[in-house]
Structure 1
């Protein structure tokens, strides 16, 4: 990886150093050791600023000071500098996360947030469908009108769940989808009511047990966007609404 001085300075800044501190540290690495005048000569740092910057670097453990006349500065080794910066990062990270954990533990729990997530992109929706199907304990309802949305990992997951005794129902207006998945032992198939025949936007529907649900739509550009929820009141209510809407009117 090719890194120039500007890249290095920006990296030091992300590690907590100021621009001047990074420039002085780099200059001293070039010099080996030097006075404030030596540093100012090769670094874009005013000589008057070098003294205070060097003092901060000494406090950080990144350089040593020789009390001579004039004062000379020597950087610590790169190995020691790396350990110093890593230790500093670890301390700051621990301090920040300790506070976040404290705030989280202080939560009263009076409010609960329903987890409703959005997934965009066909492959990501594929992964989420498989993940939901794999979590089923008792029953699965899988539906799609598009045969291309029945990818091999989904078919294998349905077969594995059916073999383990999970009740699996496939809903589709598409004969090829019903025939393909209906050939799996233990998988039942059905067609949705006729009032769904005009649907041209739906993608996939997944219901897992009574608390996991995914609904996707096909975007105008042919992509797929899904919302899903698991273990929430939202999921339970949406499942009830879906099941009512898919019942055949008497």
Structure 2
């Protein structure tokens, strides 16, 4: 297969999703990344999904009432706007930490330039700040705001309010809206934790590389043994001469000992 951006696509294999690979301790903070990144993505995707259902219900309610009562206008732009922004934030977080998850899963020892590492950090901070703003705004709107109607009055206004039905005019009484906010705060916590883990990983990577302290320690212990195995064998010492029974000779063919002395 092709190599794109220095990444060998042959490494994309189903076996990489095995727990023995996903939670391999030879890579620094690998278990934490595999778990926290996924929790951040799942929480945000669930929040945006429930929020989308909330948005659709209020948009449908507005279209129905304004069609039945042409003079009326239902104001719900606050809940529609924040639910739309929540979708954007959820997609952004899933994109950043989803990509980080798969890159670390398939290519944990990949080479990254300084610009790429900076981009990962900046992206993580941006989506964390965006999620914080999303959570604060969504909480205030759901807790304190509600739909309201203008353009009609009297009996016609009473009919509009009566026919509104579901969802509730008060956002805090809408279970889906409340659930979306709760899941959003959970996702925010895991997003900030993911950002912290990413920063901590790159701080370690800059000094020691992608492997954990345990793996590096094991490699250091194995290094002397590997050097011994790779070194050429030392030459054997010369054989010790065996003297004949006559002490005056080195051997039957050598010079007499007394002549040497």
**Aligning the two structures, in what range does the TM-score lie when normalised by the shorter sequence?**
under 0.3
Greater strand share, structure number: 1
- TM-score after normalising by structure 2: 0.18
- TM-score after normalising by structure 1: 0.18
Structure number, greater radius of gyration = 2
